[in-house]
Amino acid sequence: RRHVSKVYSCVWPPDAPAMPYWNGLLALLVCLSGVAVPLQLAFEHAFTSAWEMPSYVMDACFLIDIFVQFRTGFMHEGHLVMDPSNIA
């Protein structure tokens, strides 16, 4: 059972409906980066501007995830922590 003492704006519960989709997207991007970065380093001449935009999009998603993780509550000893100061 969850115990929440106060409701904070812009703090998402860890079981929010969109979280599995967001985490799945990030897992896919991590796997894609794990393949793409070594290929980019090995074949610099082949990876020109065609790969530049997808790379920036992936970087933006990872930066957005930092914000999302600092605004997502978590469970601690059976209590749902939703206070932004405790999350950080």
Q: For the segment 14-35, what is each residue's pLDDT rounded down to a tens digit? A: 899 999 999 999 999 999 999 9
Q: What is the pTM of this model?
A: 0.77
Residue 80: its pLDDT value, please? 87
* Buried-exposed string 2-25: b where 16+ CB fall within 10 A, e elsewhere: eeeeeeeeeebeeeeeeeeebeee
